[in-house]
Chain A
Amino acid sequence: MSIHVNQLTKRYGNFTALDDISLSIDDGELVALLGPSGCGKTTLLRSIAGMEFADSGNILLEGRDMTFEPIRHRQVGFVFQHYALFNHMSVFENVAYGLRVRPRAQRPTEAAIRQRVHELLDLVQLEWLAKRFPPQLSGGQRQRIALARALAVEPRYLLLDEPFGALDANVRKELRGWLRRLHEELHVTSLFVTHDQEEAMEVASRIVVMNHGRIEQLGTPAEIYDTPRTPFVSTFIGNVNVFRGCVRNGAFHSGSWRLPLPRTLDTLHLAEQNAYIRPHDIEILRGPAADWEVRIRHVQPMGSRYHLEAIPVTDASAGPGPETESGRIMIELTRQAFKTLALDVGHRVGLRIHHVHWFHGATTLQ
């Protein structure tokens, strides 16, 4: 049950929601469409579902061109951000709805409907709510019912539009794991929209990162995080320190700070070049052998990890410090490392850089 999107473009007046999007999703995958609001991810999802029609390009489901097919021929299950449960029907009737509206010839018997609904309520572990009405349920329960309702018609594709966007943080976390396990059990090709990178990383087998109606990168969570293809992906997924500077004499310069360059860059002279460094790719050292020197300004314990903010030490001898976007350098340590180093606010420490992402224009350099 594969999904192929070919050169899909959609404009609303002057606004380009989808700009030449091409995308392939294999049978049984669980893929996240990730991006900031207005990046086109929901438009893409609704186009695949058949609720929107693109200006050009086409959508193939299982190899068949479905671009202009009506919704009911696409066999898609859709889960809405705000659940869209039928408030005037019981939970049972909500789940049964897709079976009851079938043409008479294809409609299951009442007994079969009953059995199917109870199976699904069992699957989402909410059997005991069958007689309640949606307004009586919590947000998490409503979304699980919405999912059961979408699954009732045995869709070949499951599309979820910010499924956990309206829920509390801890309910959201719980449902993420639950959705992933459910997918492992059912193996229905699934596509979900989110603006939460953590959610995408945690649930999806592959992530499509979108921005301004374009796909920035498509890959597994590890690929996206470890080898971001564009500056946007690097800053949108996880935290990153962006050092502004230039390239000359085979090295990167930011203020008085220097970094060696990868071979692809060191022959160039660039007036403007940024270095993207993840907070956990920076090691803190006591004493010499450090690349740079900083003073710790803030310590934030985050449970198993510690987030630190540091500012460059600017001595008369050292010259001006590097230029970062916030003026501060974010460093992330394990709890273990933090305790071993016995760090505190005000300490002057050395930094060693373990990994840098370099981009030339909009593309990555290895």
Chain B
Amino acid sequence: MNSTTHRQIVARQQADETPLVRYLLSLLAMAIIGLFLILPLVAVLVEAFRDGWQAYMTAITDRYTRHAIGLTLFTALICVPLNTLFGVAAAWCIARFDFPGRSLLTTLIDLPFSVSPVIAGLVFILIFGAQGWFDGWFAANGFPILFALPGIVLATMFVTLPFVARELIPLMQQQGAEQEEAAIMLGASPWQMWWTITLPRIKWGLLYGVILCNARAMGEFGAVSVVSGHIRGSTNTLPLHVEILYNEYQFSAAFAVATLLAGLAIVTLIAKSIVEWRQQRQWESASS
């Protein structure tokens, strides 16, 4: 449906409702948004600065906070590129080839979305824990997985696995393979085809997936909480650090650190909107 007819339909539906109903519905929507989205954000900011600017700065420059920031960034730095790679490969396979188990793979990619992150974390405990399948073999041999960086990375990878693939599969299916075939017919190697045709055509969708993947990688709590062990200055990511501070009744410090995550969310939203807008333009030009 193009945007003109869509607008016409919206206009017609608007005309069908009485002004009172329209007014009430809008008010309700705004109330919900205010209550569930704006209010918490404002609360975070208010609480963060309750003890003043000085206390805020102290909280976010604290040694443990800085370590948590570093760990969160480092985890994202490993997980996002790997999941990008995986997502692109999976989307490529699913959108371009027909093979046995294709629909199973499509379903499996969604698994992390449908499983509670806590369960995901517990699965890793079950596999790598002291009483798990490997019976602590890794830890005993000087390469601990649980309550250490590898566990955090694994849990984060699991949780953020679907984002890039989910974004690319419908896009690549909609685009079809014809332009890629044309490139090959013109003598391009598969590698040249990928860099000159495939990637430029999916870049906005890819970026969108990467942004969402990154936001989740940095904000993940449940799965990481189970495998990390909450060792301050060692295995504490930002979301875990917020929880620890809060549990220690350091409310304004907890909220101060939370503003970092809230800031990340806002930056993500802005980046997402820009990419969405670019992508929409590309889709429109592709389908015209």
Chain A residues with a Cβ under 8 A of chain B = 49, 51, 71-72, 76-78, 80, 82, 84-88, 97-98, 101-102, 133, 135, 146, 149-150, 152-153
Q: Which residues of A contact B197 (CB under 8 A)?
A: 86
Smallest CB gap from B189: residue in A: A101
8 contacts between A and B (CB under 8 A): A51-B185, A72-B189, A80-B182, A86-B182, A86-B183, A135-B285, A146-B182, A152-B186
Does B286 interact with chain A (Cβ within 8 Å)?
yes
Assuming the A-B contacts A80-B178, A80-B181, A101-B192, are A87 and B187 also in contact, with contact meaning beta carbons closer than 8 angstroms in the complex? no
Complex: how many Å from CA A152 to CA B186?
9
Q: Is the Cβ of B182 less than 8 Å from the Cβ of A72?
A: no
B188 interface residue (CB < 8 Å to A): yes
Assess whether B182 is in contact with A87, with CB atoms less than 8 Å apart: no
Chain A residue with minimal CB distance to B187? A72
**Contact for B183 among A51, A87, A101, A146, CB less than 8 A:** A101
Q: Which of A49, A51, A85, A101 has the most CB atoms of chain B within a 10 A radius of its CB?
A: A101
A76 touches B185 (CB 8 A): yes
Closest 5 CB pairs of A and B: A98-B186, A84-B182, A84-B178, A101-B188, A78-B185
Determine if B116 is an interface residue (Cβ-Cβ < 8 Å): no
Q: How far is the CA of A77 from the CA of B181 in the complex (A)?
A: 12
Seen from chain B, the residues whose Cβ lies within 8 Å of a Cβ on chain A are: 178-179, 181-189, 192, 196-197, 200-201, 285-286, 288
Question: What is the chain A residue whose CB lies nearest that of B178?
Answer: A84
Bound-state Cα–Cα, A149 to B187, Å: 12
New A-B pairs, 18, CB < 8 Å, besides A71-B185, A72-B184, A80-B178: A51-B181, A71-B184, A72-B187, A80-B182, A82-B178, A84-B182, A86-B179, A86-B182, A86-B183, A87-B286, A97-B183, A97-B188, A101-B183, A101-B186, A101-B196, A135-B288, A150-B186, A152-B186
Complex-state Cα separation, A88 to B197, whole angstroms? 8
Determine the residue in chain B with the shortest Cβ distance to A146: B182
| Complex: A150 Cα to B286 Cα, angstroms | 21
Which residues on the A side are within 8 Å of B181 (C-beta)? 51, 78, 80, 84
Closest A residue to B188 using CB positions: A101
| B residues near A101, Cβ cutoff 8 Å | 183, 186-189, 192, 196
Contacts of B178 on A, CB cut-off 8 Å? Answer: 80, 82, 84
B200 engages A88 (CB within 8 Å): yes
Q: How far is the CB of A271 from chain B (nearest CB, A)?
A: 48
CB of A97 within 8 A of CB of B186, answer yes
Contact A87 to B185, CB < 8 A, known contacts A80-B178, A101-B192, A101-B196? no
Residue in chain A with minimal CB distance to B192: A101
Most buried by B among A71, A84, A152: A84
CB of A94 to closest CB in B, whole Å: 9
Instruction: Tell me the bound Cα distance from A78 to B201 in angstroms.
Output: 21
Bound: A86/B197 CA distance, A: 7
Chain A residues lying within 8 Å of B186, measured Cβ to Cβ, are: 97-98, 101, 149-150, 152-153
Expressed in whole angstroms, the minimum distance between the Cβ of A104 and any Cβ of chain B is 12
Closest to B286 in A: A87
In the bound complex, what is the Cα–Cα distance between A84 and B151 (angstroms)?
Answer: 46
Q: Find out whether the CB atom of A77 lies under 8 angstroms from the CB atom of B200.
A: no
Residues in A neighbouring B200, C-beta threshold 8 A: 88
Q: How far, in whole Å, are A80 and B179 apart by their CA atoms in the complex?
A: 9
A146 to B200, CA, bound (A): 19
B185 closest partner in A (C-beta): A78
A49 contacts across to B, CB distance below 8 A: 185
**Chain A residues with Cβ under 8 A from B182's Cβ?**
78, 80, 84-86, 146, 149
Distance of B43 from chain A, by nearest CB (Å): 45
**Would you give the shortest CB distance from A245 to chain B, in whole angstroms?**
49
- CB neighbours of B288 from chain A (8 A): 135
The answer for the CA separation of A15 and B25 in the assembled complex, in Å, is 55
How near does chain B come to A129, taking the closest CB pair, in angstroms?
A: 16
B187 touches A88 (CB 8 A): no
**Chain B residues, CB < 8 A from A97:** 183, 186, 188, 196
In the assembled complex, which residues on chain B have CB atoms less than 8 Å from the CB atom of A82? 178
